[in-house]
Structures are given as structure tokens and as C-alpha cells.
Amino acid sequence: MEKILELKNLKTYFATDGGVARAVDGVSFSLGRNRTVGVVGESGSGKSVTALSIMRLLPMPPGYFAGGEIFWKGRNLLSLQDDEMRRLRGNDIAMIFQEPMSSLNPVFTCGSQIMEQIRVHHPEMAAVEARERSVELLHLVGIANPSERFSAWPHELSGGMRQRVMIAMALSCNPALLIADEPTTALDVTVQAQILDLIGTLQADTGMSVLLITHDFGVVAELCEEVLVMYASRVVEKGEVRQIFSNPLHPYTRGLLESIPRMGVPKERLHVIEGSVPSALREPVGCRFSDRCPLADSRCRSIEPELVAYEAGHEAACWKAG
């Protein structure tokens, strides 16, 4: 499988008043062409900072890359000049965020924002053509009457429609990779399902790769082929979705899987992992999950486990795995 993206031991830190926050602390994974990979983990585990590191969209300072590399089609993104990086964003890699309203400019119509996005990357394109392409994109993302909706203002659209517009903008330059950071959490449940369906369909039609960040293992099961489980700024397990579901190796992964709501199971019987993700400011000693782990022993509390392969394509960072 051809790798288009590869993170090698990436460390993204923030200098804060309280000390150094190790938001991403030695993350390695690769992403194949045409693949959909889910990233799951509780709040604060470093999912967004990983995505924003790839896009190089973090505020620096206070953020900085403390180590590692991000290869995109063989080039290390961390050594690109800002203008090269700007060209790559949108053209090769696009990102959509959780809150579609904050990413649309309220004083321009939706269509003109898509047009603008197209013309930034294709300044040679005539306005008429860019407009046609924008209407096409609105149609592609499932917006009815796209030529009328072209002139709609962001506030005239529902949250789901706005997210569709954001997806249209992200797709405007045929990116090879779409990063979607919890693209549906701000939407109600039925609309969430529609947007996720749309992303799945677009992925299949265009062959782009998708990195889908979510809290929800159910979403991963629906949409993804591979999954990365993040905990406390690290990847603690990765594998094919079926491997993770049928044979989860890390106690944290098992905890997350047990907390998926199932139909007919009363809410109060849901298993939730007790405790919380340790602060990124805390100096890590041993396995970061050890203070919440039912299996932890003295080795777990003193030596940090690295990712180890247990079957082809399936790795876990746990002394008790296997």
C-alpha cells in the first residue's frame, strides 16, 4: 500500500505558564492512499493537535515541534517554507472542523466563499468557471437547488447545511487527504449520520484518504478501515478496524469499546473508564494509563511501553498485551 502521510515520533509541545504541555508526545503512524483512518480517544488526548500539526496551523509560539517528522509524499512538512505549506493546504490536504459557523465568514455568501477558495489555488480560472464549479460542488455535497443556494448567507443555513458548505470548500481543490476533526459533534443525531454518510460517499467517489477524528467508536465502525487509539498524547493501539473490534489489545481500547452505547442496554449500565486523562503538563512516568488500568503492575508504573506488533498491522503499547 502506498503511504501518502507518515508521522515519525512527532512531538508537539506548548510552552505555558504552568510548564511544558506535551500535547503530542512521540506519535508515529502512516496513512495509505485511498484509506479512511479513524482517530479515537478521550478529550485532551492530542487528536486535534496531531491534526493541526500536520496542517501546520498551530499558534507558534506557544506551540513548537520538539521532535520528529511529518512526511507527505516523501517530503518533510516540518521543513517546508510557509508559502510552500500554504500551497499544500487546500491543494493536497484539506481540513474540516467541528463548528462550521465559526469557519464561514458571515459577511460573504456561501457560494462566493467556495469560489474564493477555488480561485486562491487556481488564479487563472475565469470567474464564470469558478462559479460553475462552486455550484457543482454544492450539488456534490447534497445541497438541493445549488444555483439558488449559491447566494445564501451562512446564517440562512442550518448547521448541517453549513457543514456541507465547509466540505464543499475542502473538496474544491480535490485534496488527496481530508482531515475531519469531529465534523459532526455540533449537529443533531440524524444530521450527523447524513454528514458522515456524505464523507463516506465522497471518499469512495474521489479516492481521497480521510483522517477522521472522533470520540465515537460507533462512527469508526461505520466509516473507517483502520483506527488509531490515542491516550495522553500517544498512540496506544492501532490496527484494522476488525482487528481492534475483535481483538482489542490495550485495556484502554477495551474500556472505550465497552462504553459504546448499545441498543437496549440501559444507560446506567454503561461501562465508563474511571478517572481521567492525565494533564499534558505532568511529567510522564511509566505507562500513562497505569493509574486507571486494572492490570497495572510495578513495571507498568515505571517503564513506558512502546508500540509492538502482535499481528500484521496490529500494534499496541502495553506490557500486558498479547
Ligand X SMILES: Nc1ncnc2c1ncn2[C@@H]1O[C@H](COP(=O)(O)OP(=O)(O)OP(=O)(O)O)[C@@H](O)[C@H]1O
- Partner touching 102 among Mg ion, ligand X, none, CB below 5 to 8 Å by kind: none
- As a three-state string, the secondary structure of 20-88 is EEEEEEEEEEEEECCCEEEEECCCCCCHHHHHHHHHCCCCCCCEEEEEEEEEECCEEHHHCCHHHHHHH
- Partner touching 62 among ligand X, Mg ion, none, CB below 5 to 8 Å by kind: ligand X
Shortest Cβ 24–ligand X spacing (Å): 7
For the chain, what is the radius of gyration of the CA atoms? 20
Q: Report the alpha-carbon distance of residue 50 to residue 22 in Å, rounded.
A: 11
Query: For Mg ion, how many residues bind (rule: CB under 5 A)?
Result: 2
Site string for Mg ion, 23-62 (x = CB under 5 A): ------------------------xx--------------
Residues β-bridged to residue 316: 237, 308
Shortest Cβ 48–ligand X spacing (Å): 3
**Burial (CB count within 10 angstroms: exposed 0-12, middle 13-18, buried 19+), residue 117:** buried
- Partner touching 72 among ligand X, Mg ion, none, CB below 5 to 8 Å by kind: none
Shortest Cβ 154–ligand X spacing (Å): 23
Binding site for ligand X (CB under 6 A): 14, 16, 21, 23, 41, 43-49, 59, 62, 280
**Positions in 279-318 near Mg ion (CB under 5 A):** none
Shortest Cβ 41–ligand X spacing (Å): 6
Q: Report the alpha-carbon distance of residue 248 to residue 311 in Å, rounded.
A: 12
Block residue for cell numbers 481540513: 95
Shortest Cβ 291–ligand X spacing (Å): 16
The residue of the chain with the least Cβ separation from Mg ion equals: 48
- Partner touching 45 among ligand X, Mg ion, none, CB below 5 to 8 Å by kind: ligand X
Q: Which is nearer to ligand X, 137 or 227 (CB)?
A: 227
Q: Which is nearer to ligand X, 182 or 226 (CB)?
A: 182
Q: Report the alpha-carbon distance of residue 258 to residue 117 in Å, rounded.
A: 42
Q: Tell me if 147 sits within 8 A of 182, measured CB to CB.
A: no
- All three cell numbers of 5: 502521510
